Homo-oligomer: A and B are copies of this chain.
């Protein structure tokens, strides 16, 4: 079990690769962000870390708003494009055939082609070095009705979510179990043993 040491770098993976929409309905922009995550459950909070020189950095800082749009196999090409091109030179919504739609709680638009959009208001900006971390409090979540079943449940399993690891986008593969499966199995076994008695 020998190990080899490597110098510090950003190797945490897999990570999300979300499309963050910002600006306004009239002048919307999108930036793809992998340095993102949930940071608090109650109240629900999420962060995005953005390089100061990015066009969206100023938009988000000035407005205090951003929307995290989940990404899927269907929007993978757009996700990649919005990470490598700058909104200073191209209208990313137009270029990627994406549609800005009104958010419920923000002036910043959401992306119609995303199955689930998380509207966030900036609570704090923490400068860390290359990136500023925007701490966002979740204000609303909107879901494409095509992904809500008759019982009102969000069908995450139909989203075709993508993940990002070592420079590649991946579709989620085989399910390996539900949260709690490592302890549920035993109780199920026990119950079955009891039932057999």
Contacts and interface: CB of A to CB of B under 8 A. Distances in A.
Interface of A: 1-16, 18, 34-47, 49, 68, 70, 73, 76-78, 80-81, 83-85, 99, 101, 104, 110, 112, 116-118, 126, 128-131, 133, 135, 137-145, 148, 154, 156-157, 161-163, 165-183
B177 A4 contact: no
B170 A166 contact: no
A45 B9 CA distance: 8
Closest 7 CB pairs of A and B: A173-B173, A37-B37, A156-B166, A8-B138, A40-B128, A80-B182, A81-B182
Contacts of A4: 142-143, 145, 148
A12 B41 contact: no
A14 to B, nearest CB: 5
16 contacts: A3-B117, A8-B138, A10-B38, A11-B116, A14-B161, A15-B37, A37-B37, A40-B129, A40-B133, A47-B47, A84-B183, A156-B166, A165-B172, A168-B178, A169-B175, A171-B173
